A and B are shown apart, each in its own frame.
Chain A
Amino acid sequence: MATLEDLTARIDAGERLSEQDAAALASSRDIITLGMLATTIRRRLHGNEVTYVRVLDLEIDDKADLKVGTTTTADSAGEVRVFATPQTLDAAIALVEQARDIAGGVPLSAFCLFELGKLPEGLPVVLPALKKAGLDAVTQAPIDRLADPERALELLADAGLPLARMTVNDTPEREWISVCREVAGLQTRLRTIRAFAPLARTIDAAEPTTGYEDVKRIALARLVVDNVDTIQVDWSLYGPKLAQVALTFGADDIDSVSAVHDDSLGRRRSPVEEIRRSIHAAGYEPVERDGRFVRRG
């Protein structure tokens, strides 16, 4: 394997890691080196800035209507999000229309592309219908669940719907590096992936990953998926401490900061002051964005 100095020089020059180098780094236990290399790419793409987005998650009540969890309105949010699994297209359209009314001019994302693909009408019908109903973006597309990710992303683009983030649903059994290469390959062909969130969305309570494994995945994602602009970590799912550490392993964006200022939500629903403090403490400059990745304020 090349030395750290060689790899850093090559990454500084804009070269991609070879498959051998990436595989060697993946098998290494030296996460300090990994973090330094990932930070080289991260700083080249984003300088000293870390973006975050305040999200208002809409809940579904027992009448299948959407509601805002507290008395908060969408005003403070940079994104309004509906995380539901509708059973019919009509139900999905109804949720989007309700959410659109709540969101006003705030970007609205909803649903998982994999789940939408299960609707009987099929994505070529479902996605344009949701766009027409007022949806601004599909919330997530799990690379490990989509049978044909390239086709699914093409259909999203055809419908004029951006994807908010490419995700990984479960901790992969196959080599992590191959997942990263698959995402990078998709981006080479399609160029429509704005953000990649490399940590699994479902956490196995019986066998959770360790912090070491999580930051290593983030660093390898930054190194291999170097053609996707943003490596994202979820504040509410993984907590403030891992999210903060992830910033020193290649992550540049923090998702799911709660737009609800309610102390009862606990420490993982941190107010904006806390996230800004965490980003500063990691040595970066916080920048708030909206669901379209446009800076706020």
Chain B
Amino acid sequence: MSIRLGAVSYLNTRPLVQGLERETDRFDLRFDVPAKCAELLHANEVDLGLIPSIEYPGHDYRIVPGMSIASDGPVASVAIFSKVPADRIRSIALDTSSRTSVALLRVLCARWFAITPRFARMPPDLDRMLRECDAALVIGDNALFTDHEALGLEKVDLGEEWIGMTGRPFVYAFWAGRPDVVGPDDVRALQLARDRGLTATDTIGRDMFPDNPERAARAALYLRENVKYALGEPEIAGLRQFYQLAAEVGAVAAAEAPRFY
């Protein structure tokens, strides 16, 4: 029987799923938004999910080794856009569609920026967010393509700030599922898909932005330079530290040690 895979169809996840849809003997692949992907895994409606790292604690899951969606410098697609320098921010509007990014921001506010801002939840509309708050958490394409300088804003890249604080990579997402749902051959197939994807960043960029060559080129560069797809010792150490700090600031229920297939 095929392994039910729940994936996300965002730009930065494409390299991990490149070609998987053709491996129908091994995988049954579906695409959803990240929160839905995690819900499906929690409800046992998929066997393996490409889940945000904040969704891992509190479940008896195993992580597929060797690959993740991570950054070890500026990530470009997770940032706060601010009208004032970070240490003077008093209020932040949150795009709550990424709980991992919200938790990362909370950790950075408490332990790096040393600020205790008021948080306001609202839809990802930068104009409205900045009308009501000093800064806005923006993720995904909006963060990647918004020209902050043209808007007179500071862009505080959370991936860059995390590595500035910890010296370690930040892990945003990974494949995870219940123990024993995948074997070594399945893990190899997923790793091969990742390897294929990393050689196809230009194609992925064009597929995602077929009518906009400039964005397609920026997207390909983003996949090559900003996003990292490894999950080695440095990333695992960063993940452990994130869970520990997130638990300490109440952004996640408990710190949890990563466990692997």
Q: Which residues of A contact B (CB under 8 A)?
A: 13-16, 44-45, 124, 128, 131-132, 137, 154, 156-163, 187-188, 191-194, 227-229, 292-293
Question: Is B178 positioned at the interface, with any CB of A under 8 Å from its CB?
Answer: yes
- Asked if A229 and B254 make an inter-chain contact with CB atoms under 8 angstroms apart, the answer reads yes
Nearest CB on A from B27, distance (A): 20
- Provide a sorted-by-A list of 26 A–B residue pairs whose CB atoms are within 8 angstroms: A14-B60, A16-B43, A45-B60, A128-B116, A131-B116, A154-B121, A156-B250, A157-B251, A158-B118, A158-B119, A160-B116, A162-B247, A162-B248, A163-B250, A188-B39, A191-B57, A191-B99, A192-B253, A193-B253, A227-B42, A228-B58, A228-B253, A229-B253, A229-B254, A293-B247, A293-B254
Residues from chain A with a CB closer than 8 A to the CB of B59 are: 227
Pair A191/B55 contact, Cβ less than 8 Å? yes
Number of interface residues of B (CB under 8 A): 27
State whether B116 touches A194 (Cβ < 8 A). no
Q: Is B252 an interface residue (CB 8 A)?
A: yes
Chain B residues with CB below 8 A from A187, complex form: 58, 253
How many residue pairs link A and B with beta carbons under 8 A? The number is: 70
A45, A159, A188, A293: the one contacting B116 at CB < 8 Å is A159
Please determine whether A160 and B44 come into contact, CB atoms closer than 8 angstroms: no
Which residues of A are found within 8 Å of B247, using beta-carbon distances? 162, 194, 292-293
Q: A131-B116, A158-B118, A188-B39 are in contact. Are A13 and B58 (CB under 8 A)?
A: no
Is B153 interfacial (CB 8 A cutoff)? no
- Inter-chain contact A15/B44, CB cutoff 8 Å: yes
Chain A residues within 8 Å of B57, by CB: 191
List the 4 closest A-B pairs by CB distance, nearest first. A162-B250, A160-B249, A194-B253, A158-B119
Given A14-B178, A157-B106, A229-B58, verify A192-B43 contact (CB < 8 Å): no
Cα distance, A24 to B195, chains bound together (Å) = 49
CB distance from A128 to the nearest CB of B (A): 5
Judge if B156 is at the interface, Cβ distance under 8 Å. no
On chain B, the residues within 8 Å of A292 by CB distance are 247-248
Tell me whether B236 is interfacial, beta carbon within 8 Å: no
Residues of B within 8 A of A227 (CB): 42, 58-59
Q: How far is the CB of A161 from chain B (nearest CB, A)?
A: 5
Q: Which A residues are CB-close (under 8 A) to B54?
A: 191
How far, in whole Å, are A15 and B43 apart by their CA atoms in the complex?
7
Question: Complex formed: what's the CA distance from A163 to B250 in Å?
Answer: 7
Complex contact A132–B116 (CB within 8 A):
yes
Q: At the interface, yes or no: B144 with Cβ under 8 Å from chain A?
A: no
- Residue B110 CB within 8 A of the other chain: yes
Tell me the smallest distance from the CB of A251 to a CB of chain B, in Å: 17
Known contacts A124-B118, A128-B116; A157/B60 CB under 8 A: no
Chain A residues whose CB sits within 8 angstroms of the CB of B39 once the complex forms: 188
CB B52 to nearest CB in A, in angstroms, measures 10
CB distance from A134 to the nearest CB of B (A): 13
Q: Which residues of A contact B60 (CB under 8 A)?
A: 14, 44-45
Q: Mark B217-261, 1 if CB is under 8 A from A, else 0.
A: 000000000000000000000000000000111111110000000
Instruction: Provide the residues of chain A in CB contact with B254, threshold 8 Å.
Output: 194, 229, 293
Q: A156 to chain B: which residues have CB within 8 Å?
A: 250
With most chain A CB atoms within 10 A of its CB, the pick from B58, B110, B249 is: B58
